Amino acid sequence: MACPVPILAAGSVLRVFEPDSPQARAIFNLGVICAVILGVIYVVVGGLIVFALMRFRWREGAPDPRQVAGNKRIEIVWTAIPFVIVVALFVLTARTMTIADPPPPPQPDLVVVGHQWWWEFRYPKTGVITANEIHIPLGKPMALRLDAADVLHEFWVPELTRKMTAVPGHPNHIWLEADEPGTYLGICSEFCGTQHAWMHFLVVAEPQEDFDAWTRAQLQPAAAPEGEAAKGLALFQQLSCVSCHAIKGTRANARVAPDLTHLASRQMLGAGIVDNTPENLHRWIADPQKVKPGVLMPDFNLTDEQVNELVAYFETLK
Ligand code: CUA
């Protein structure tokens, strides 16, 4: 069933009706069953109301209808039917929860931290730290722990898993899995401030070997740059970039803003607001407020030359 809602991030689309994991499929199937049951109730009840309106409407000169006070048999029937329906929905929901929401293991595979307005992702078992883009191995359920740095956010990858709120100081749990290789779009689905709408992230599902290769690459520190890029690194360390960002292999290790160690390997900038191209990166550094108004990164009033040096450096961070 194709129902693409065009919310763009690196060419991705939010597909709510195309589940691609056991968890999302269980939720989708439950949704379909509920919609069918509720649809039948709607048609039956609505039909009876329309029937009663037509059949028993007041007519000129007609006598009063037969007066009835209570009917035990009918009352039992219309209590029993909803009871059976509610029990059936309860059983179906409980069954879905065992598939979509089994208890979490003691150690998560991935820690997700929602920030205004980007996502921090940490793999505690390997030490990978990234932002706005996660990779997962195909067919393996990943246990996620959700946290938030400031306000409530909500993690949602409709094709892969259910929604879960990220609450500051109260970790929540969710499972994330994909059957098919591909890039899935995730969004923040809890209003969290000015740029809530641009708090997208990508989930790249790939075979285990590719995931392992990605993990190894992400664990590498940034290589020492040369030429213009070296000037960029010097500038990066001189300016106040280091008060917020981290780049492994340099003295920058702040955790307020996204880790930039492998910035150039990511598909988008500003949590999905633009694709990650050198031109967009240039626009972003030159004036982040113009690209994403309200973003917590200030405009540093850099000269064009300084921006070029920084872009040259960031483009080496593969
Ligand atoms: Cu974060 Cu909405």
Q: Is the peptide bond before 118 cis (omega within 30 degrees of 0)?
A: no
Q: How many CA atoms lie within 13 A of 225 on its CB side?
A: 24
Q: How far is CA 272 from the centre of its chain?
A: 12
Ligand 1 centroid–CA 30 distance in Å is 27
- Comparing 23 with 4, the larger pLDDT belongs to 23
- What's the pLDDT at 15? 83
- pTM score, whole prediction: 0.86
| Tokens coding 191 | 């209003």
Question: Over the stretch 45-68, which tens digit does the pLDDT of each residue have?
Answer: 999 999 999 988 888 888 888 888
User: In this model, does residue 230 exceed pLDDT 80?
Assistant: yes
Residue 151 CA, closest ligand 1 atom number: 1
User: In this model, does residue 221 exceed pLDDT 70?
Assistant: yes
User: In this model, does residue 1 exceed pLDDT 60?
Assistant: no
Question: Over the stretch 90-143, which tens digit does the pLDDT of each residue have?
Answer: 999 999 999 888 999 999 999 999 999 999 999 999 999 999 999 999 999 999
What is the percent of the chain where pLDDT is above 70?
96
Confidence of residue 5 (pLDDT cuts 50, 70, 90): very low
- Comparing 55 with 7, the larger pLDDT belongs to 55
User: In this model, does residue 3 exceed pLDDT 80?
Assistant: no
User: In this model, does residue 299 exceed pLDDT 90?
Assistant: no
- What's the pLDDT at 12? 63
Distance CA 41, CA 178 (A): 35
- What's the pLDDT at 207? 97
Written as one string, the DSSP assignment of 66-133 is PP----HHHHHHHHHHHHHHHHHHHHHHHHHHHHH-PPPPSS-SEEEEEETTEEEEEETTTTEEEESE
Helices (H), the chain: 22-55, 72-100, 208-219, 227-238, 278-286, 288-291, 304-314
Average pLDDT, the chain: 91
Distance CA 257, CA 210 (A): 27
Region 229-248: mean pLDDT is: 91
Distance CA 233, CA 263 (A): 14
**Which residues line ligand 1 at a C-beta cut-off of 6 Å?**
114, 117, 153, 188, 190-192, 196, 199
- What's the pLDDT at 8? 56
Ligand 1 centroid–CA 109 distance in Å is 22
Of all protein residues, whose CA lies closest to atom 1 belonging to ligand 1? 153
Ligand 1 centroid–CA 45 distance in Å is 40
Would you say 55 and 62 are in contact if contact means Cβ atoms under 8 Å apart? Answer: no
Ligand 1 centroid–CA 152 distance in Å is 7
Show the domains of the chain with their CATH numbers.
22-100 (1.10.287.90), 228-314 (2.60.40.420)
Question: Over the stretch 248-298, which tens digit does the pLDDT of each residue have?
Answer: 888 888 899 999 999 999 999 999 888 999 999 999 999 999 999 999 998
Ligand 1 centroid–CA 167 distance in Å is 11
Residue 191 CA, closest ligand 1 atom number: 2
